[in-house]
Amino acid sequence: MRILSGIQPSGTLHIGNYFGMMKPAIELQERGEAYYFIADYHSMTSLFDPEQRRQNTLGVALDFLACGLDPKRSVFWRQSDVAEVTELTWIIGTLTPMGLLERAHSYKDKTARGISPNFGLFAYPVLMAADILLFDSNLVPVGRDQKQHVEMTRDIAIKFNQAYGETLVVPEPEIRDETAIVPGLDGQKMSKSYGNTVEIFGDEKAIRKKIMGIKMDSRTPAEPKPNADQNIAIQLLKLVAPAEVARETEERLRAGGLGYGDLKKALFEHYWSFFAPARAKRAELAANLDYVNGVLRDGAERARATATVVLERARRACGLA
């Protein structure tokens, strides 16, 4: 089984990225051939600073490796190092109905927020479909916000196969219910564009301040809280604390025996220790950038070996070869 996923270098990674995609992706390394990449072409639709892109890309590489991506087991590369994906984007783009792209949530959200759309932003799901299809991927671990994109990929693959004969593998999304949408500090989906994130490798003081600033409902702490499960601090605690600890804390909160300040302090402490091993690993990697660049170079070579075979198959099928 082939597993594939990507992540954009559009800023600092947050725990929504971690629990929604990286953690499942890291666990799936055990179950098949894992292909993971840094989607730097995609970042071009919204980030226009070359130095920033270079830094973010290196940052994502460090983050993913520090969190447990094992380059001996997985293929890990920078999307733009395997430029074959842009040819497949063109090929499948000619079979992608405009209407399908016009219905894309992420495109509609971005334009609704006033971002003036470019062709790349509109074509974003086609490039993502090409990422997935270029590697004969079976399973794509993502957060809920990417579900529609994987469904579009399936539609495109089916259409290609109908037009040109069985050529492309139709993938399935893998979305875990518990972490499909990790909430941000304000209760909306955690997202860089909402400014509500907790970074994976954030500065201690800054994150403590963010967590202590989570808004709680206004009832006095002593009053029992029947809606504890909707409490953002509890939802985040469930991700970073041992299950037993999270359950006890929730019970105390429901019973009115735990103040919000103490709850948030506990959340910070558990967050901080949850990522402590990865933080140490990241510092080690940051001091050894030759190794990290070597991993990406080697990953690009291995990714290209697979990509060229599938691209050739697609070219032949549609009469280009």
Distance CA 174, CA 33 (A): 15
Tell me the residue nearest to ligand TYM as measured from the CB. 20
The minimum distance between CB 158 and ligand TYM, in angstroms, equals: 17
Decide whether 56 or 249 has the Cβ nearer to ligand TYM: 56
Distance CA 240, CA 282 (A): 19
User: Among residues 319, 312, 321, which one has the least CA distance to residue 88?
Assistant: 312
Catalytic-labelled residue, pool 108, 147, 159, 189: 189
- Is residue 192 part of the annotated active site? The answer reads yes
- Is residue 23 part of the annotated active site? The answer reads no
The minimum distance between CB 163 and ligand TYM, in angstroms, equals: 22
Distance CA 83, CA 88 (A): 9
Q: Pick left, alpha or beta for residue 142 (phi over 0 → left; psi -120 to 50 → alpha; otherwise beta).
A: beta
Q: Is 210 within 8 Å of 272 (Cβ atoms)?
A: no
Decide whether 16 or 299 has the Cβ nearer to ligand TYM: 16
Catalytic-labelled residue, pool 23, 110, 210, 225: 110
The minimum distance between CB 69 and ligand TYM, in angstroms, equals: 13
The minimum distance between CB 49 and ligand TYM, in angstroms, equals: 17
Report the Cα 102 to chain-centroid distance in Å. 23
Decide whether 174 or 262 has the Cβ nearer to ligand TYM: 174
Instruction: Give the residues lining the site for ligand TYM (CB under 6 A).
Output: 4-8, 16-17, 20-21, 39, 42, 128, 131-132, 140, 142-143, 145-146, 149, 179, 181-182, 189-191
Strand order in the sheet with 172-174: 74-78, 33-38, 2-7, 139-141, 172-174
- Is residue 159 part of the annotated active site? The answer reads no
Q: Which residues are known catalytic residues? A: 110, 189, 192
